């Protein structure tokens, strides 16, 4: 019963969303050129399955690499910034300011500097999902309850020990907020990079099929992207369940 | 609304989309606005900045704008795919396509043949790339030896200037801006029209609904806009200043450059001749860009086109 | 040895600052066991946190084993008033935390941790997480964590408050045995006058708001004091009665 | 002393960042067309101060309106999803999937549907910053400690009371992670919308000055954007300090 | 009236499930005061949470004031083992929480809340936040919160564990006075046998793992029992000694 529900409910949600969309295109008589109906998209996918899957694979590679780099560097930066508050006061505003520079404006510079390979795309992914990871991890690292940080201090823990054994595990549930937001942004970042520099990936499919007015193909790519993003999100959520079971146990 | 709403003073409210942002080639619309040509024609025009051909056509088709300046060649290739069948041109701004190859002097590109083995940048999925095989065949280039690089339009000059690509395929009127971007290096321009003389450049378009419901509105708009176009050609400097006033980001020198560079390709009467349209469609057809069967009537509304 | 000299501590706050301790003097000799009693809110926990180096005094000085206290030291173990267990570690893992922090071999530590957990009656619960334990069980885990390092200085803040009468006696007996075998300099905050008298060499009574040392009573009852039997001794009863009176006088807020 | 440091450190950080940038442009001989140096940008700003400030104002208006809508709806959705877990299981995957649809692909559709006014821009801002608000608020709402949720249940609190009096206040610190990430994304969303439909705002300045090769002006707009984004971020952070002083008190 | 019939409760867990309570039977008459004692971890808190409707029994039935318990009820007030105060509310705000939850007029509630806080010795601390209070002070705030609604059924889980001996006597006396004035059906979990004897009509002793009711002792000492004096009565001493023995037999884990 619970098994059925756990698979059934998300399916129900997806089917409902598709139904609303389909009904919308029919009721309002929207042309596939503007917004294709689900069958148009399925048809487009069946026209080019191998191509779409190959490009999806390349998007995943860029996304995951960039996300991985962002998580590691973001985690380290958050640790450094929370360990030295003076440094935080000096650098966080700059970080916030840099983060707000539109990635679309940065993308051309990246291509000029790094060329047309995967590098500028990965850099863009890192830039886009770095910030939520840092903000969430910092919030988590500064939320250690007084009694635990007193425990840590009373045991004369080194800064590193305090982080690894107490502050970081405690921060994990909050950090995962950043990771979940970050993974979604990472996918978006990869697509933005691919739209800008369409040498491959689903972003390239979207922009190229868009300019050739093959809207159903563009939407097939978008649908794949949505699937992919959802899968990555739930992968992260699954990792959370695995790593912080205690968090669910002490909250209710 | 389909054919524009009337304001209190009796003029018709319409929305017009430029071809691409706010640069010299589109200055005439602001000139027509500034000089009162639209007002005199009983029009209250809102000028919106357009994006690529496809986006402009979508906006027209959705009725969010009544008129737009669009690349006719690109629009007709789309028409050949059966997309947006409810859009018609009603005046030509550029009698021949301005698409060109632009390289920097000293890069060793002085003739089409030099492009072989080089990297060529163009706006993602642009018409320029679709036309290139035809151009290459006539210019005697081995098309397979040219490597294309897709990029957003705004990014192209940077790619050329930084040497990431060897040449661009873009509108020749952008040459001055590209030279500015390249730090003053002179450019080499190889127009497609040398080998593909029959194709049109930009033109004014409207949806069939507007053209049928209110042909008079279309004519009034057409004449006012073309009057602005003529004035711009006669007074490039003033036109550029008017543009700058309306859009502070505009660059006067580059705008003057565009207007003077496009002048030879412009007939201020906006003439769009049936036989020339048929020719253009035939060129597209022989290059495999459109399937056979597209008639001039299905892409141009001659009822509201200039009669010159 | 712990020397607290004219130590005051005030907590600033928007709604008026609170003077928790005022010019406290207290000396605990090497290996001595001093119990601290006082009314709720009189500053007992604050005193322990000052000695542990977790708080800075507003004025006055504290020295522990000859050095002025600036920061916590590895020689001092503090058992806080709350269990403060790490929710992601099992009971055993929590007890092992100080061993890991001191980078000592885990295997040896684990042997001792298991012995300690067994001794406090948590034999079947080594691998349970804190949220699977009752309040008293959590407190006993915290007790084991404080004891595992065999500290030279042991500070305990109401270590038995969540335990029932019998377990409490049990724990007190074990603590006394440990202390006799290897005397650590101990400050033991408790709410039970009996417990203070039965465990301590001296009992300090704090009076509230601001906390001051009201009296320090030396308990001259021979050790080991078996808690069941000694509790009936007239000397014990006398000490308890006296402390009760001091406490009662020492101010009702 | 503390006063001086609290203003001085961020200033120091900003000045250092500017210095590195400037030095970079000089040392590597980068032309202003690619990356203008700070003086070029100041010059560009002084050329068109009124215009830039007016457009900044319009970006702020779009950002703040969209962010406000996203916060309110995101908060409500998070409350509904955490109150009925079955609903969460059914709709969260759809939400994740929708969120991953690249906003750059959606922007033109919004113009087609909603025209050239502020509406499509506000909608884009809402779409872009809605997700982090929802994810962070949900995480906060499900982190109520067991003893507090038992308290709430033992007092027979209605669902609404439990949320308003216990779960929501407890969630605030985590919610603010979402708000801080969200406000940064909101600015980006406004700019993406303005780049797509350059009828006004700093995004329009960036794209239009790009087409006229006026990179210093584009960077002046980007700099204003960075300032604006930082100001909004610290406004949110200030609100956090104001609303949840207790969170700092119980952590250390 | 509370009727607990053959109630068992098992906690499932990956590392083996724990049988906390096994076939418990307990009846508390209307207005009766029953104390529950038992070794740490024997299931006292679990029993209270079952009666409060926070946990469901694995088997057996519980009725409170005639209705089977399915969910918590407004007539029942529970004072948890942890203070569980809301950190963003002042002491006064925390005490007022039940008043707000019941949508009763705040003004009246505030008068009573102030009286209660004053009565437990927190006169100067109405507007302090929990993190500015000592452990015992927090517990007293939680006590006030449990009492403010004058509940028909009162469940208290070691309400005085963080209080010193004197404050504890004080609180016990006040609780007794309240109970005599307006008897609520009370289940009072405590670690102090003395306290149980001095406050309760009957004392239930739980034996551990799994928790069972070992014995229920009726205390026939006339009320009011002034804690200072009555403590010396032979009847009290006898009850205490007896319970001590039962507890001691009732199993060492
Ligand atoms: N962080 C703080 N901020 C403000 N006041 C505080 C703080 N910590 C303690 N106090 C105040 O200092 C006084 C002493 O507190 P302390 O915790 O030391 O008492 P205690 O003797 O341990 O009490 P208990 O027996 O109840 O644990 C109290 O009045 C308390 O309100
Ligand atoms: N959530 C839980 N998961 C697993 N086991 C639990 C849980 N809660 C309680 N237990 C187990 O149930 C038993 C009884 O716990 P309970 O908290 O009722 O004890 P208690 O009598 O209140 O003890 P104390 O006097 O120490 O507070 C313990 O062995 C404990 O380990
Ligand atoms: Mg204390
Ligand atoms: Mg308990």
pLDDT (tens digit, 9 = 90+) per residue, D129-152? 999 999 999 999 999 999 999 999
B67-71 and B43-48 strand pairing = unpaired
Stated as kind and residue range, the H or E segment containing B258 is helix B252-262
Domain boundary among C121, C150, C179: C150
Is the CB of C39 less than 8 angstroms away from the CB of E164?
A: yes
Question: Whose CA is closest to E2, among E36, E22, E24, E32?
Answer: E32
Average pLDDT, chain D: 87
- E63 with E90, same domain? no
Angle, CA of D209, D210 and D212, to the nearest 5° = 65
Q: pLDDT of E166-202, one tens digit each?
A: 888 889 989 998 988 889 999 999 998 888 988 999 9
Minimum-distance CB partner of D48 among B20, B177, B248 = B248
List CB contacts (< 8 A) between D139 and chain A: 173-174, 176-177
* Separation CA E100–CA E149 (nearest Å): 11
Average pLDDT, chain E: 89
Question: B6 pLDDT exceeds 60?
Answer: no
Instruction: Kindly state whether B269 is in contact with chain A, defined as any CB-CB distance less than 8 angstroms.
Output: no
Is the CB of A33 less than 8 angstroms away from the CB of B126?
A: no
Q: Please indicate whether residue D76 or residue B79 has the higher confidence score (pLDDT).
A: D76
Domain boundary among E103, E126, E150: E150
Backbone dihedral region for residue C11 (phi beyond 0: left; psi -120 to 50: alpha; all else: beta): beta
- E163 with E228, same domain? yes
* Separation CA B259–CA A121 (nearest Å): 37
Q: Give the gap in angstroms from C-alpha B237 to the nearest C-alpha of chain D.
A: 16
* pLDDT, average across residues B49-73: 86
Question: D222 pLDDT exceeds 70?
Answer: yes
* Separation CA E90–CA E133 (nearest Å): 10
pLDDT of residue B203: 92
Backbone dihedral region for residue D200 (phi beyond 0: left; psi -120 to 50: alpha; all else: beta): left
- In the reported structure, the alpha carbon of residue E154 is separated from the centroid of ligand 1 by a whole-number distance in angstroms of 28
Our answer on whether the CB atom of C34 is closer than 6 Å to any ligand 2 atom is no
Assigned token pair, B163: 């040497």
pTM over cut 0.80: yes
* Separation CA E52–CA E154 (nearest Å): 9
Question: Whose CA is closest to A187, among A237, A239, A132, A233?
Answer: A233
**Distance in angstroms between the alpha carbons of the first and the last residue of chain E:** 33
* pLDDT, average across residues C119-141: 92
Backbone dihedral region for residue E251 (phi beyond 0: left; psi -120 to 50: alpha; all else: beta): left
Question: Whose CA is closest to B146, among B156, B135, B157, B154?
Answer: B135
| Helix-strand-coil split of chain D, %, nearest 5 | 85, 0, 15
Question: B210 with B66: CB under 8 angstroms?
Answer: yes
Neighbours of A69 (CB within 10 A): 16
List CB contacts (< 8 A) between A247 and chain C: 87
Is the CB of A139 less than 8 angstroms away from the CB of D173?
A: yes
Which residue has tokens 């009371």?
D161
Question: D37 pLDDT exceeds 90?
Answer: no
Backbone dihedral region for residue B187 (phi beyond 0: left; psi -120 to 50: alpha; all else: beta): beta
| Res. A76 pLDDT band, cuts 50 70 90 | very high
Domain boundary among C150, C171, C201: C150
Burial class from Cβ neighbours inside 10 Å (0-12, 13-18, 19+) for residue B65 reads buried
Quick one: which atom of ligand 2 is closest to the CA of C164?
Answer: 25
The residues, ordered by sequence, that sit 6+ positions from E156 with a Cβ below 8 Å of its Cβ are: E48, E78, E79, E143, E146, E186, E187, E188, E189
* pLDDT, average across residues B133-157: 84
- E22 with E129, same domain? no
Backbone dihedral region for residue B275 (phi beyond 0: left; psi -120 to 50: alpha; all else: beta): alpha
Do C and B touch, counting CB pairs below 8 Å (3 needed)?
no
* pLDDT, average across residues B283-305: 87
Q: pLDDT of C158-168, one tens digit each?
A: 999 999 888 88
Assigned token pair, C35: 């119990």
Neighbours of C16 (CB within 10 A): 10
Stated as kind and residue range, the H or E segment containing A145 is none
Question: C253 pLDDT exceeds 50?
Answer: no
Neighbours of E76 (CB within 10 A): 25
* Separation CA E37–CA E57 (nearest Å): 20
List CB contacts (< 8 A) between C72 and chain A: 153-156
Which residue, judged by its Cα, is nearest atom 13 of ligand 1?
Answer: C20
Q: pLDDT of A161-191, one tens digit each?
A: 999 999 999 999 999 999 999 999 999 889 8
The interface pTM score, or ipTM, of the predicted complex is 0.88
Is the CB of A198 less than 8 angstroms away from the CB of B62?
A: no
| Res. C129 pLDDT band, cuts 50 70 90 | very high
- C246 with C122, same domain? no
* pLDDT, average across residues D92-111: 82
| Res. B27 pLDDT band, cuts 50 70 90 | very high
Question: C2 with C28: CB under 8 angstroms?
Answer: yes
Average pLDDT, chain A: 87
C2-11 and C76-79 strand pairing = unpaired
* pLDDT, average across residues B45-66: 85
Q: Give the gap in angstroms from C-alpha E164 to the nearest C-alpha of chain C.
A: 4
Question: B120 with B148: CB under 8 angstroms?
Answer: yes
- In the reported structure, the alpha carbon of residue C19 is separated from the centroid of ligand 1 by a whole-number distance in angstroms of 9
**Distance in angstroms between the alpha carbons of the first and the last residue of chain C:** 33
Radius of gyration of chain D (CA): 22
Q: pLDDT of E110-130, one tens digit each?
A: 999 999 999 999 998 999 999
Stated as kind and residue range, the H or E segment containing C56 is none
B5-6 and C33-38 strand pairing = unpaired
pLDDT of residue B4: 46
* pLDDT, average across residues A96-103: 84
Question: D234 with A113: CB under 8 angstroms?
Answer: no
Q: What is the DSSP string of C146-167?
A: HHTT--SEEEEESTTTTS-HHH
List CB contacts (< 8 A) between A241 and chain C: none
Number of residue pairs across C and E with CB atoms under 8 Å?
108
* pLDDT, average across residues E157-174: 90
* Separation CA B175–CA A33 (nearest Å): 34
Burial class from Cβ neighbours inside 10 Å (0-12, 13-18, 19+) for residue C209 reads middle
List CB contacts (< 8 A) between D115 and chain B: 64
* Separation CA E234–CA E237 (nearest Å): 5
Minimum-distance CB partner of A197 among B61, B62, B151 = B151
Question: Whose CA is closest to D197, among E70, E146, A221, B58?
Answer: B58
**Nearest listed ligand to the Cα of residue C132:** 2
- E67 with E163, same domain? yes
**Could you give the number of structural domains in chain C?**
2
Question: C96 pLDDT exceeds 50?
Answer: yes
Quick one: which atom of ligand 2 is closest to the CA of E12?
Answer: 4
Q: What is the CATH number of the domain that holds E193?
A: 3.40.50.300
Question: C27 with C212: CB under 8 angstroms?
Answer: no
**Nearest listed ligand to the Cα of residue E128:** 1
Question: E133 with E141: CB under 8 angstroms?
Answer: yes
pLDDT of residue D1: 44
Neighbours of D53 (CB within 10 A): 11
Instruction: Kindly state whether D119 is in contact with chain B, defined as any CB-CB distance less than 8 angstroms.
Output: no
- C121 with C176, same domain? no
Is the CB of D48 less than 8 angstroms away from the CB of B62?
A: no
Which residue has tokens 């007896």?
E242
- E160 with E120, same domain? no
Domain that holds residue E146: 83-150
Assigned token pair, E224: 């009011």
Q: Give the residues across from B5 on adjacent strands.
A: B13
Q: Give the residues across from E3 on adjacent strands.
A: E27, E63
List CB contacts (< 8 A) between E102 and chain D: 155
| Res. A6 pLDDT band, cuts 50 70 90 | low
- E65 with E90, same domain? no
pLDDT of residue A248: 85
- Residue in chain D lying closest to E78 (CA): D154
Question: Whose CA is closest to C187, among C63, C58, C37, C60?
Answer: C37
Q: What is the DSSP string of chain E?
A: -EEEEEEEEEE--TT--EEEEEEEEEEE-TT-EEEEEE-TTSSHHHHHHHHTTSS--SEEEEEETTEE-SS--TTEEEE-SS----TTS-HHHHHHHHHHHTT--HHHHHHHHHHHHHHTT-GGGTT--GGGS-HHHHHHHHHHHHHTT--SEEEEESTTTTS-HHHHHHHHHHHHHHHHHSPPEEEEE-S-HHHHHHH-SEEEEEETTTBEEEEEEE---PSS--HHHHTTSHHHHHHHHHHHHHHHHT---
**Nearest listed ligand to the Cα of residue E40:** 2
Is the CB of C18 less than 8 angstroms away from the CB of E162?
A: no
Is the CB of A230 less than 8 angstroms away from the CB of D34?
A: no
Instruction: Kindly state whether A15 is in contact with chain D, defined as any CB-CB distance less than 8 angstroms.
Output: no
Question: D107 with D204: CB under 8 angstroms?
Answer: no
- E55 with E113, same domain? no
Minimum-distance CB partner of E132 among C13, C81, C247 = C13
* Separation CA A201–CA A190 (nearest Å): 8
Instruction: Kindly state whether D28 is in contact with chain B, defined as any CB-CB distance less than 8 angstroms.
Output: no
* Separation CA E31–CA D131 (nearest Å): 53
Q: Please indicate whether residue C178 or residue E230 has the higher confidence score (pLDDT).
A: C178
* pLDDT, average across residues E76-100: 94
Which residue has tokens 């006669």?
B234
B119-128, C2-11, D80-89: the lowest-pLDDT one: B119-128
Is the CB of D198 less than 8 angstroms away from the CB of B250?
A: no
Burial class from Cβ neighbours inside 10 Å (0-12, 13-18, 19+) for residue E111 reads exposed
Q: Give the residues across from C207 on adjacent strands.
A: C212
Minimum-distance CB partner of D33 among B62, B153, B181 = B181
Question: B223 pLDDT exceeds 60?
Answer: yes
- E36 with E131, same domain? no
- E248 with E173, same domain? yes
Name the C residues in 63-122 with CB < 8 Å from any A CB. 71-74, 76-78, 80, 82, 84, 86-88, 97-98, 100-102
List CB contacts (< 8 A) between D229 and chain A: 96-97, 99-100
**Distance in angstroms between the alpha carbons of the first and the last residue of chain B:** 30
Our answer on whether the CB atom of C134 is closer than 6 Å to any ligand 2 atom is yes
* Separation CA D82–CA D90 (nearest Å): 12
* pLDDT, average across residues B296-308: 85
Is the CB of A213 less than 8 angstroms away from the CB of B162?
A: no
**Number of helices (H), then strands (E), in chain C:** 8, 10
Name the B residues in 222-261 with CB < 8 Å from any D CB. 247-251, 254-255
Minimum-distance CB partner of D147 among E72, E84, E87 = E84
Which residue has tokens 């007539």?
E75
- C138 with C164, same domain? no
Is the CB of E131 less than 8 angstroms away from the CB of D249?
A: yes
- Give the residues surrounding ligand 1 with Cβ less than 6 Å away: C 11, 13, 18, 20, 38, 40-46, 81; E 131-137, 162, 164
Instruction: Kindly state whether B55 is in contact with chain D, defined as any CB-CB distance less than 8 angstroms.
Output: yes
pLDDT of residue C232: 67
Our answer on whether the CB atom of E210 is closer than 6 Å to any ligand 2 atom is no
- CATH code, A36-251: 1.10.3720.10
Minimum-distance CB partner of D214 among B21, B55, B251 = B251
| Res. E98 pLDDT band, cuts 50 70 90 | very high
Q: What are phi and psi of E241, to 5 degrees?
A: -60, -45
Provide the 3-class DSSP secondary structure of residue A144.
Answer: coil
């Amino acid at each position: 019963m619970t098994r059925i529900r756990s698979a059934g409910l998300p399916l129900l949600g997806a089917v409902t969303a598709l139904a609303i969309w389909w009904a919308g295109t029919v009721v309002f008589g929207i042309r596939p050129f503007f917004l294709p109906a689900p069958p148009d998209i399925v048809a487009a996918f069946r026209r080019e399955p191998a191509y779409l899957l190959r490009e999806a694979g390349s998007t995943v590679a860029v996304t995951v690499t960039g996300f991985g780099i962002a998580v590691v560097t973001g985690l380290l930066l958050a640790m450094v910034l929370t360990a030295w508050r003076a440094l935080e006061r000096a650098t966080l505003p700059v970080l916030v300011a840099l983060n707000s520079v539109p990635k679309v404006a940065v993308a051309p510079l990246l291509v000029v500097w790094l060329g047309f390979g995967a590098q500028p795309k990965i850099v863009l992914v890192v830039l886009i999902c770095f910030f939520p990871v840092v903000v969430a991890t910092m919030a988590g690292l500064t939320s250690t309850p007084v009694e635990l940080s007193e425990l840590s201090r009373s045991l004369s823990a080194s800064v590193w020990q305090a982080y690894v054994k107490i502050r970081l595990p405690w921060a994990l549930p909050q950090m995962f907020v950043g990771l979940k937001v970050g993974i979604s942004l990472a996918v978006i970042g990869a697509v933005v990079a691919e739209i800008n520099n369409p040498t491959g990936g689903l972003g390239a499919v979207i922009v190229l099929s868009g300019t050739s007015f093959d809207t159903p193909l563009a939407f097939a790519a978008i649908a794949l992207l949505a699937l992919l993003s959802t899968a990555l999100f739930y992968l992260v959520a699954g990792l959370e369940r695995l790593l912080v079971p205690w968090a669910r146990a002490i909250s209710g | 609304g389909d054919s524009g709403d009337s304001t209190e003073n009796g003029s018709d409210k319409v929305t017009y989309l430029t071809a691409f942002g706010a640069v010299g080639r589109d200055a005439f619309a602001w000139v027509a606005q500034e000089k009162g040509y639209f007002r005199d024609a009983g029009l209250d025009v809102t000028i919106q900045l357009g994006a690529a051909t496809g986006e402009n056509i979508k906006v027209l088709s959705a009725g969010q704008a009544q008129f737009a300046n669009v690349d006719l060649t690109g629009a007709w290739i789309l028409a050949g795919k059966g997309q947006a069948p409810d859009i018609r041109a009603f005046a030509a701004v550029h009698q021949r396509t301005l698409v060109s190859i632009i390289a920097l002097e000293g890069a060793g590109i002085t003739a089409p043949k030099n492009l072989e083995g080089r990297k060529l940048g163009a706006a993602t999925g642009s018409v320029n790339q679709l036309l290139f095989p035809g151009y290459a065949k006539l210019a005697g280039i081995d098309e397979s030896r040219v490597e294309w690089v897709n990029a957003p339009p705004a990014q192209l000059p940077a790619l050329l200037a930084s040497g990431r690509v060897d040449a661009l395929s873009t509108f020749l009127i952008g040459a001055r801006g590209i030279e500015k971007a390249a730090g003053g290096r002179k450019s080499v321009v190889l127009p497609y029209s040398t080998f593909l003389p029959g194709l049109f450049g930009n033109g004014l378009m409207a949806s069939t609904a507007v053209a049928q419901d209110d042909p008079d509105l279309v004519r009034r708009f057409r004449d006012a806009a073309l009057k602005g176009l003529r004035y711009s050609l006669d007074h490039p400097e003033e036109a550029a200043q008017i543009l700058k006033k309306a859009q502070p980001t505009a660059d006067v020198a580059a705008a003057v450059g565009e207007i003077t560079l496009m002048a030879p390709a412009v007939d201020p009467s906006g003439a769009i001749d049936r036989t020339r349209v048929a020719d253009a469609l035939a060129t597209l057809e022989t290059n495999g860009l459109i399937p056979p069967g597209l008639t001039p009537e299905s892409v141009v509304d001659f009822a509201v086109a200039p009669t010159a | 040895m712990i020397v607290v000299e004219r130590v005051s501590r005030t907590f600033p706050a928007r709604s008026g600052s609170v003077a928790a301790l005022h010019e406290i003097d207290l000396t605990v000799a090497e290996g001595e066991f001093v119990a601290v009693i006082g009314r709720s809110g009189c500053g007992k926990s604050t005193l322990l946190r000052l000695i542990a180096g977790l708080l800075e005094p507003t004025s006055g000085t504290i020295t522990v084993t000859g050095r002025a206290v600036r920061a916590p030291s590895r020689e001092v173990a503090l058992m806080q008033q709350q269990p403060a267990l790490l929710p992601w570690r099992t009971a055993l893992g929590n007890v092992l935390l100080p061993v890991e922090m001191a980078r000592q071999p885990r295997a040896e530590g684990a042997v001792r941790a298991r012995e300690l957990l067994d001794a406090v009656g948590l034999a079947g619960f080594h691998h349970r997480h804190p949220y699977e334990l009752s309040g008293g069980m959590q407190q006993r885990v915290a007790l084991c964590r404080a004891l595992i390092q065999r500290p030279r200085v042991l500070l305990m803040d109401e270590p038995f408050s969540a335990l029932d009468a019998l377990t409490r006696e049990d724990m007190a007996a074990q603590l006394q045995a440990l202390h006799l075998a290897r005397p650590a300099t101990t400050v033991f905050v408790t709410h039970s006058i009996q417990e203070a008298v039965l465990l301590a060499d001296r009992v300090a009574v704090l009076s509230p708001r601001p906390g001051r040392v009201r009296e320090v009573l030396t308990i001259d009852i021979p050790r080991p004091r078996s808690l069941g039997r000694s509790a009936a001794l007239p000397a014990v009863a006398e000490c308890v009665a006296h402390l009760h009176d001091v406490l009662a006088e020492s101010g009702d807020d």
